[in-house]
Structure 1
Amino acid sequence: MKFLIYINMIVISCLAMFPNVVKAEEILLLNLQYKSDKTTTREIQFYGNDIDPNSTSIDDSFSLKIDGKSIEVPEPLYRRLETLRRTFSYDSLSGGIQEPSESIARCNLGGPAEGMILKARYLTYNSEWKIVDHEMRSVFGMAENCLFKELYTPVNSNAREDARGVIEILNTLTLLGYSDSK
């Protein structure tokens, strides 16, 4: 009989720890892609162990990769990226994401279309504010020349500024040579 009690205690302890084990896996949260026509020429990926930007924990962990190479940045920078992504990661704060328009603008520039696309782990909440679905979704596009047409943008102006802030932070890391550090 004591044996069954011990087994139950072990099973209950393991089940209680299960959410922390699942949370420990790092998930892609942000992905900045540098594009030249349809080719991705550089990619910066931000990972975290919790997809919900509205929750924080001492167990939170983050990492960054540039072109597949892990880099280390100060913890406050990880936290800043996590905070910024909140406003453009779901409809109630982003106001939704506008897709690129099909307008035909005249551009006499030759060469490839150059630009950047920021993708984010986009969340769907139910009426009880529980996450019921998530996917990587293009949330912001920034043209480097007039040929680039993938100009996604959040409807909400605060979300647009936060998405632009993320692009600037990640772009600065490449300009500072972080991709060559490891």
Structure 2
Amino acid sequence: MEKEASERRSSKKAKRDENFNYTIGEFAVQCYKCFKWRLIPTKDEYETIRHNFIEDPWYCNKNPNVTCDDPGDLECDETRIWMIDKPNIPKPPAGFDRNIVLRKDYSKSDSFYATPTGKKVRAPAEVEKFLEANPGYRDAGVSVSSFNFSVPKMMDNNQKAANVTPGSGKKK
């Protein structure tokens, strides 16, 4: 009986989850000079820019055929949910994928890494256990310091974009 109720809850949860994508859909960077937002075509390119941002700030002219005189690609407005990542977060080691997932109640986001084996790690201690169980990655130079579990800052205009009361999970 308990298993059946659990399966029903899981089924309802799956239907609810398929209606909304809680992961990041687009990557953008703000020009260090003009402060306009520019779309970055791939997550890999975005992670490279973010990893080096303090030492190598990003400017519009790093995009081919784009200058600060051109209109921005995006405006930080209420049409989407905005999350601002910290600069200089290390680019994930080869084969690992850093993921940010927005909580359903829009209260905050969580980060995790998908390992090359498919396992998810959510904290430095889990990375350490993974490296102990898979020493080949440590031998290849992967260390706990290669990972950063900080999450992007959610912008204030998100509450209107999501049309929710933060932390409630309920639409207005």
TM-score normalised over the length of structure 2: 0.27
TM-score normalised over the length of structure 1: 0.26
Q: Which has the higher strand share?
A: 1
Larger radius of gyration: 1
Q: Which has the higher helix share?
A: 1
